[in-house]
Amino acid sequence: MITVEDATAQVLSRISVLKPERVPLLAALGRVLAEDVISDIDVAPFDNSAMDGYALRHADVEGATEQAAVRLAVIEHIPAGVQPQKMVGAGQASRIMTGAPVPVGADAVVRVERTRPCEGQGGPGGSVQILTSAKLGENIRGRGEEVKAGDAVLLIGEVVGPAAVGLAASVGHADLAVHRRPRVAIVSTGDELVDVRQKPGPGQIRNSNSYSLAAQVVDAGGEPHVLGVARDTEESTRALLGRAGEFDLMVTTGGVSVGDFDVVKKVLEEIGELDFWRVAMRPGAPQAFGTIGGTPFFGLPGNPTSTMVGFELFVRPAMLKMAGFTSLFRPRVNATLTHDVSKKVDRRYFLRARLVPSGDGTYSVAAADNQSSALLTAMHRGNCLLSLPEGESFIPAGSTVMCIRLDMGEGTA
| Helices 234-241/263-271 angle, 10° precision | 50
- Strand segments (E) across 201-328: 205-206, 223-230, 249-253, 273-276, 281-282, 288-292, 295-300
Nearer to its own copies (CB atom), residue 184 or residue 308: 308
Nearest Cα residue to 55 out of 81, 73, 82: 73
Choose between 106 and 292: whose C-beta lies nearer to its own copies. 106
By the rule CB under 8 A, 161 interacts with its own copies: yes
Q: Which residues between 337 and 356 bind its own copies (CB under 8 A)?
A: 355-356
209 binds its own copies (CB under 8 A): yes
Give the separation between CA 303 and CA 322, rounded to whole angstroms.
26
Considering the rule CB under 8 A, would residue 79 count as an interface residue with its own copies? yes
- Mark 110-149 with x for binding to its own copies (rule: CB under 8 A) and - for no binding: -xxx---------------------------x---xxx--
Is residue 193 at the binding interface for its own copies, with CB under 8 A as the rule?
Answer: yes
What values do phi and psi take at 105, rounded to 5? Answer: 100, -35
For residues 379 and 374, give the distance between their C-alpha atoms in angstroms, rounded to a whole number: 10
Q: Among residues 331 and 389, whose Cβ is nearest to its own copies?
A: 331
For position 287 contacting its own copies by CB under 8 A, the verdict is no
Query: Which range of residues in 39-47, 289-297, 337-345, 391-399 is near its own copies by CB under 8 A?
Result: 39-47
211 interacts with its own copies by CB under 8 A: yes
**Binding of its own copies by 197 (CB under 8 A):** yes
Query: Using an 8 Å Cβ cutoff, are 388 and 382 in contact?
Result: no
- For residue 411, which of 310, 296, 288, 324 has the smallest C-alpha distance? 324
Residue 29 binds its own copies, judged by CB under 8 A:
yes
- Tell me the β-bridge partners of 95: 54, 77
Specify the residue, 172 or 245, whose C-beta has the smaller distance to its own copies: 172
Q: Is 257 in the site for its own copies (CB under 8 A)?
A: yes
Q: Is the dihedral of CA 224, 228, 233, 239 positive or negative?
A: negative
**What minimum distance in Å lies between the beta carbon of 10 and its own copies?**
23
Q: Shortest approach of its own copies to residue 13 CB, angstroms?
A: 26
Name the β-bridge partners of 252. Answer: 187, 299
Give the interface size with its own copies as a residue count (CB under 8 A).
Answer: 103
